[in-house]
Amino acid sequence: QVQLVESGGGLVQPGGSLRLSCAASRSIFSSYAMGWYRQAPGKQRELVAGISSGGSTNYADSVMGRFTISRDNSKNTLYLQMNNLKPEDTAVYYCNRRSGPVYPWGQGTQVTVSS
């Protein structure tokens, strides 16, 4: 079973940046489309960025132009570069498959945007 471990979250002021990482226990990124999701308190989990096995990316309108998803297949690691962060970006961020059966969810990484 694949394990996913997210890291890199923290407290940042509005306008700041963070880079999230997602480490997989084995090589999966070259085979499956992957995504970054987030869940804010009282809200459903939503997909904010995805990357196909071929490298094509897609973003939710709310993060377009501010977030960049990427991956390093050799390190089995998925990244999310987040710039110009806003208070509404505050959430727990997770990675998983973008489509199809998901792997067990990791613990996520908390991102808090506040002055």
* Tens digits of residue pLDDT in 21-78: 999 999 888 889 999 999 999 999 999 999 999 999 999 999 999 999 999 999 999 9
The first and second tokens of residue 80, run together, are 């999310």
pLDDT of residue 67: 98
Task: Share the mean pLDDT of the chain.
Answer: 96
Cβ(1)–Cβ(100) under 8 Å?
no
pLDDT of residue 34: 95
pLDDT at 31: 87
Place of tokens 């050799």: 74
Contact (Cβ atoms closer than 8 angstroms) between residue 63 and residue 1: no
Cα separation of 68 and 18, whole Å? 11
Inter-residue contact 39 to 92 (CB < 8 Å): yes
> How many whole angstroms separate alpha carbon 94 and alpha carbon 7?
9
